[in-house]
Amino acid sequence: MKVFTDEGQCFIDLEHSLTIKDVSTLLIKLSATNIKEINEFFIHGMDLKEFDTAGLQILIAIKKYADKNNKEFQMSVGKKETELIKFYEMDEYFKGAIV
C-alpha cells in the first residue's frame, strides 16, 4: 500500500489487499499526512486480490470525511470490490465516486 500527497491531492494505491490487516497500515499512513490540507482523494484499487468489510468500512470513512469537508473523492475498483459494494447496498452511496 502506498500513500502519496502532492499539492492538496492524496493518492492511495491499495496494491493487492485491503483487509482488516491492512486498515491499520492505511490509517497510520493517512495520519502521517496533513489531512486538513488535502482537497482531493484518489484511491486506486483495481489490482486488489483481497477485499473485506473492514476495507469497505475504511473507504466509507474516507468518503464520509471528504463529503463532510467538501473534498473530492474518487476511487477505481475492480469487479470483486464492486460486487461487495453492491452486496451491502452501498452502490448508491459511492455513486459518482467510482471511476
Could you tell me if 44 and 9 are in contact, meaning their C-beta atoms sit under 8 angstroms apart? no
Interval 61-82: pLDDT, tens: 999 999 999 999 999 988 878 8
Q: State how far the alpha carbon of 38 is from the alpha carbons of 15, 63, 65, in Å.
A: 21, 13, 11
pLDDT of residue 35: 87
* pLDDT of 61: 94
* 31 close to 67: Cβ distance less than 8 angstroms: no
pLDDT at 2: 94
Average pLDDT for consecutive 10-residue bins of the chain (99 residues)? 94 93 92 91 92 92 96 91 88 89
Angle between helix axes 79-87 and 53-68 (nearest 10 degrees) is 80
pLDDT at 40: 97
* pTM to 2 decimal places: 0.89
Provide the pLDDT for residue 82: 86
